[in-house]
Structure 1
């Protein structure tokens, strides 16, 4: 089986993929490459999420990246252009509308998550401030207790020395 350079493979795939969408048989004849090799290359493209004409994919066979790319590509198309695009890709306009809604919903969720995270950070800062204040208070109480203990021992030592000395 002959090996083809990445550049040659890319050039041949360019003829098979949009906007050219030429048939596998015509490109195979023109390029002198077997049909099976070209079908294999198209399969690899599908697995990477590249929209391939003449192949109808179910929604879950499209990667999230490919769905987003389709939504972006079709955002500015007229209804007629969208119909032609869908025929080329083996899609339905309704699928693209669902993908667009899912993208927008995801963006909305992300915004909500960002707000939640910001609120959580604010609460965390407040908790940290309270904990630091409590630690300072306990440090002062510990220092005071230590001082009292030291003074108590010194006082005890002072009185215990007096009766023995006198």
Structure 2
């Protein structure tokens, strides 16, 4: 069995095609490139491990769109841009394919994730839980009453049918 050695440029091009494939499957991309799908999947796996959150290399990926960056990469981007002037920030965003509002949203997300819940929010949540439990109890009670009424109606009809049969 012979193994084909592909250049790094070809591997990067193949990975780029996979990431920009839209609704096509990896199998279709592999067929277009005339290569085994297993090889392509192995390259994808290695690439994902290289750009994995908390990976050994704390670098921003050039080949991944910003929407697919992990939390560690987003935090790194926030750290890199924190002390930049507005013109430097705009240049950096253009270079990385980002928008300034994305960085602001990421910063707000990091800040809100660690913010403790307020006492009012906890109280409101508890009140809603109590109200929910009460409504559930009331619903179960009404369902039992409805089932009992339906059973009584059926019995009443059977009783009337029985008396009508005896009268004839």
Q: TM bucket by the smaller chain?
A: 0.3 to 0.5
TM-score by length of 1: 0.42
Q: Whose radius of gyration is greater, 1 or 2?
A: 1
TM-score by length of 2: 0.41
The structure with higher relative contact order (CA 8 Å, sep 6+) is 1
User: In proportion to residue count, which structure has more helix?
Assistant: 1
